[in-house]
Amino acid sequence: MSISRRTFGAIVLALGAVACGSEASEAQEPTQAGARRYDTRGVVREIRRERSSITIHHEDVPGYMPSMTMPFDLEDLGLLDGVSVGDTVEFTFSREEGGRHVIRSLRRVS
């Protein structure tokens, strides 16, 4: 039997949520479409306005993922106003269908 990457990812996330128990549910807040929102901070490594994306080395996201460097899509390019590579930022993102991680709010802190 073969399963798709998407199905496998969903299974892994579900098992992680079960393993983390209530900690995972406290770290997540449902959005209108059923996606979860997460708050964290990190350092901007790359900005790609033409792709509406930003790469950030972020801290651990309790109940969801460890610290890592990864790209995020932006809900709105205006979120990048005043933000440069090397800045420390606080941000809220959601995990959307298909595994996309979309930044909903972004604020420079240094």
Query: Mapping DSSP to helix (H, G, I), strand (E, B) and coil, where does residue 3 land?
Result: coil
Fold of the CATH domain 5-108: OB fold (Dihydrolipoamide Acetyltransferase, E2P) (2.40.50)
Residue 14 CB: number of other CB atoms within 10 A?
A: 10
Domain boundaries, the chain: 5-108
Compute the average pLDDT of residues 66-92.
97
Is the pLDDT at 22 greater than 90? The verdict is no
Per DSSP, what are the bridge partners of residue 29?
A: 37
Confidence class of residue 21 from pLDDT cuts 50, 70 and 90? very low
**Cut 0.95: pTM above it:** no
Count other Cβ atoms within 10 Å, centred on residue 23: 12
